[in-house]
Every structure is written in structure tokens, then in C-alpha cells.
Structure 1
Amino acid sequence: MTKTGASLEEARRAYARSLAQQSGGTDPRIEQAFAAVPREDFLPPGPWRILRGRRYVRTPDANPVHLYRNVLVALDAARGINNGEPLLHAAWIAAVAPAPGEAVTQIGVGMGYYTAILAMLVGDGGSVTGFEVDPELARAAQRNLAAFAGVTVISGDASTASLPPSDIVYVNAGVAAPPAAWLAALKPAGRMIFPWRPAADIGLAVLIVRHAAGFAARAVMPSWFIPCAGASDATRTLAPPASSQAAWRIASLWLIRDRPPDATAVAVYPDLWFSSQALQ
């Protein structure tokens, strides 16, 4: 192995180890997956544009070692579309805890990097169905993921699509509220994580878990993503959270047909609402 190759391998291992340690997860497979999947295979050719503050800075050359840090890398700098922050995704993946053999639906695939990580974690007996609304990115993801068994990338709008039955729904674009069809796709004990944007000044990652009694909800961390086509229209909100602090207090999510909003409502939409009351 060349010196450059050795340095790259060492950088990738150190990056994966750091992500696993900081993510809050306990599954050693997360570190293994990040160490095994080359980030450069899911990006445009280098040199790359890395977001620092509010502007992009070009890497000095096309050595992939520059990518093995907790940085946002541009997929399309003109539109502000990036390969997401690795530590955030490591924490999200730890939160949804993909298990071998599970079925994952990912909404917002980009060029497929985190799709590949998810595919590694569910293994040959599992599956990942990815939706990407941008046709060019979808084609790139299809090429990049061709060698991964059980992965299907669909070029289309997930907000109007029929999602397959899923153990995990992993959403990579900001939504005002998750469409009811996404909740319906969750299997018993299924988990959904998504960036909740109920107001311009509120951005939270929310974890939903389906139980027999309903949907438990928990705010995981601050999170800001580009809007999800078809699911980010805040004008459809009937009652937004009173504040960011109120949004953090969500504990359950209800379909209005199952239970109408009551005094515990934190945010209300035409077909669902968030409550501060935990499932009984």
C-alpha cells in the first residue's frame, strides 16, 4: 500500500472511531460501517467544496483524506445541497438502531453515502428503499449504490409516494409535519427520524416509535435541513408550537382520526398533532 493509501485508511478509521464515540450509540457496527464505506465514492470528483460557516472553501487537492472530518461537503453548491454532517447522521443512526434484516426507507438519498451506511447495517437480509426527488442526484445514487445488495433508489417525490412497510423511515429533508402515509408505513416497533421544521425559527430532529398504544415522539437534537418537497409547507399548520421550548416537550404523536387534539397539544396539523403527554 502506498503512503497516501495508508494515510487515507488511517484517516477513515480515526473518523469512524470519533463518530462512534461521539454519537451516543453503543453498537460497534456503526463504527465498522463508517470505516468501511469510502465517502469519496458518493461525492462529485475532487477537489471538493467544504462548508465553513456560511461559505464554501475548496480543498487544496483531490486527496480524499480531506473528507474524513465532521464537515459538510457540497453535492451542488449553487443550490446549497450538501452531503450531510457525519456526526449528526451517526447520532441519528444510533437513535434508530438499524438491525440486521430490517427494512429501511430513506427519504432524501442525495448521492447515497448514508444509504450505503444504512445498507451495511441491515445487511444482506435487509433492504433499503431510497427516494430522491432530484433526478440528477437520483441517477448518481443509483450508480453509486449498484454494488449494494438490497438497495433500491427511486427517482420521485416521497411525499406523494406509497412507502413500503418499514422498520425505519429515515428522512433527510425538513418537514412541517410527517405525512400520515409515512406513519402508516411503519411496522410495529418501527422508528422514524426526521428534521421537524414547524416554524422558521424551530428545527429539531424528532424520533417517532410505533407502539400498540400509538406513536411515541421525542426531540433528539437541534437539526436544520433543506425543505422536503411536498412536506414542508408550514402554511398548512393549524397551530404551531408556542416556542422552541414547547416543541422540545413533545412526547407523542396522534392521528386526528384516532384522537382529536386536546389541552396537551403542542402543534396541530390537518391530519395529525403532537402532544406533550406520553403514551399510556
Structure 2
Amino acid sequence: MRELTAQLRESGVLKNPALKSAFEQVDRADFVPAALRAQAYEDQALPTVGGQTISQPSTVAFMLEKLDPKPANKILDVGFGSAWTTALLASIAGDAGAVYGLEVRPDVFRFGEQNLKKYNFSNVRLRAGSGNDGWPEHAPYDRILVSAAAQVIPEALVEQLAVGGRMVLPVVDSGAGRGNEGMFNQSIVVVHKLKSGKLHQQKFPGFVFVPLVK
């Protein structure tokens, strides 16, 4: 992972020292099917199970840079899939923090759960369920990461975001045509919940994710 991490730093997409450390500690090869381990260090999306994918490292780095997770944060990871992002977030949050992972598809849930068992994180809890509903029992969250594209920003996730918190998610562009592999064109949206309760949004176009399933 050190070579891949160095490439991401050289390209300018990975800047945060805490993220760099997490990328070096959490091996992406542990979160892909065994037959694809040799390709885990390439900057490309890879198939996992049930037609799902693990996002390319540069996209994950971009999203986590925008999320800006901190030690002791309470974090919700929606659509955790392979659980690579869950492990990265757990590494940063540390023992004083907590990461709650949601995955709606049973086969994908099992795949991610088994991957995560390769690491001894004591600060992670997983649940099978719809990302649109969030996990209200543990709200509010300092950070929310969504790794599947929503048609609109789910209201439940907005409600579960702490004041001063940040959420990063892909959203289908309004009126967009279909892009590569039949997916809709999407943007990564960064949502800040201000002290006033109002939302400030930033939009970064040009991404493709699987859809957020209800």
C-alpha cells in the first residue's frame, strides 16, 4: 500500500497525514476477492460480489479528504460494501471514536463483515439496513460517508448529522443522461451543517457510483 499511497500523494489527491497513515495501515487487498488481490494496488474500481464494486483509491481518497474525519469522531458509513472505507475510518477515529456501518444487501454485508474481521477494530459496529434511513439510535454523527448514489440527499441523514458535522455523498445530477456502464452521471456533494442548522453544500461533478438502494 505504500507505493499506492505515495502515488495518491504525488497526484495531490491525498494530503491529510492521518489519511495517509490510514491508507498505509489498511491494505486494500484485504477487501477485494482473492482472485483480484494483485490488482488491489492499481487506481481502479474492482468488482466485489453481487455486481458491486470497490471504488478506485483516488475517489476514496478524494471523498475522505472532503469528509475530514478526526480522532474521537462518531462516524456513519452508509453502503460500506467491501468495508474498506469502514476500516480506514475506524483507523482514524481510534478507540475514543466509533464507526457505524450500514449495508442493505445481505451478500455484500457478509463480504464486508468477513473482510473487516481481518482487523481487530473494537470501535466498529455493523448493521444490515437501508442507508436512506440511517442509524438513528446512535445519532448525531460528526461525519457521514455515503458510498452509493442517491437521487436526493436523504432527509434522515441530514437529521442525524451533528451541528458542525460534515457529510459526503454522491448524488445523481438532475437531468443527467446515462454515463459509463449505464450509470447516471453523478456529483460528489459535501454537506456542512452550520450552527444555525442551515446546510452549506459544495458540488464536485464527474463521478460514477452504484445507486443507493432503499
TM tier relative to shorter chain: 0.7 to 0.9
Q: Tell me the matched-pair count.
A: 201
* Distance (Å, rounded) in 2 between the aligned partners of 1:187 and 1:227: 25
Q: What pairs up with 1:152-191 in 2 under 5 angstroms?
A: 152-163=125-136, 164-191=139-166
* Distance (Å, rounded) in 2 between the aligned partners of 1:102 and 1:93: 13
Mind listing any 5+ residue stretches in structure 2 that lack a counterpart? Answer: 178-184
Percent identity of paired positions between Structure 1 and Structure 2: 25
Structure number with higher helix proportion:
2
* Distance (Å, rounded) in 2 between the aligned partners of 1:32 and 1:21: 15
* Distance (Å, rounded) in 2 between the aligned partners of 1:24 and 1:225: 18
**Aligned partner of 1:190: which letter?**
G
* Distance (Å, rounded) in 2 between the aligned partners of 1:66 and 1:43: 9
* Distance (Å, rounded) in 2 between the aligned partners of 1:166 and 1:107: 12
Task: Tell me, yes or no, if structure 1 residue 85 matches structure 2 residue 61.
Answer: no
* Distance (Å, rounded) in 2 between the aligned partners of 1:203 and 1:39: 24
Instruction: Mark the structure with the bigger radius of gyration.
Output: 1
* Distance (Å, rounded) in 2 between the aligned partners of 1:150 and 1:36: 16
- Higher relative contact order (CA closer than 8 Å, sequence separation 6+): 2
Task: Provide the residue aligned with 2:4 in structure 1.
Answer: 15
Q: TM-score if structure 2 supplies the norm length? A: 0.87
Contact 1:176 1:199 in 2 (8 A): no
* Distance (Å, rounded) in 2 between the aligned partners of 1:132 and 1:18: 30
Q: TM-score if structure 1 supplies the norm length? A: 0.68
Equivalent position to 1:151, from 118, 124, 130: 124
Contact 2:14 2:20 in 1 (8 A): no
- Measured against aligned partners, the alpha-carbon deviations of 1:43-93 in whole angstroms (never above 9, x if no partner) come to 2221x2xxxxxxxxxxxxxxx4432110111103x62x1111110110110
CA shift for structure 1 position 22 = 2.9
- Measured against aligned partners, the alpha-carbon deviations of 1:190-215 in whole angstroms (never above 9, x if no partner) come to 10111110333341100000102310
Contact 2:78 2:134 in 1 (8 A): no
CA shift for structure 1 position 161 = 4.3
Contact 2:5 2:20 in 1 (8 A): yes
* Distance (Å, rounded) in 2 between the aligned partners of 1:169 and 1:158: 11
Distance 1:91-1:151 versus aligned 2 partners, 3 A rule:
same
Task: Provide the residue aligned with 2:180 in structure 1.
Answer: none
- Measured against aligned partners, the alpha-carbon deviations of 1:175-203 in whole angstroms (never above 9, x if no partner) come to 11112110011111110111110333341
Task: Provide the residue aligned with 2:182 in structure 1.
Answer: none
Equivalent position to 2:194, from 211, 217, 240: 211
Task: Provide the residue aligned with 2:41 in structure 1.
Answer: 68
Q: Compute the RMSD of aligned alpha carbons.
A: 1.7
Task: Provide the residue aligned with 1:28 in structure 2.
Answer: 17
| Larger CA deviation: 83-92 vs 28-37 | 28-37
- Measured against aligned partners, the alpha-carbon deviations of 1:130-170 in whole angstroms (never above 9, x if no partner) come to 11011011122222223212111111112134433111110
Contact 1:141 1:153 in 2 (8 A): no
Task: Provide the residue aligned with 2:102 in structure 1.
Answer: 131
Mind listing any 5+ residue stretches in structure 1 that lack a counterpart? Answer: 1-11, 49-63, 231-280
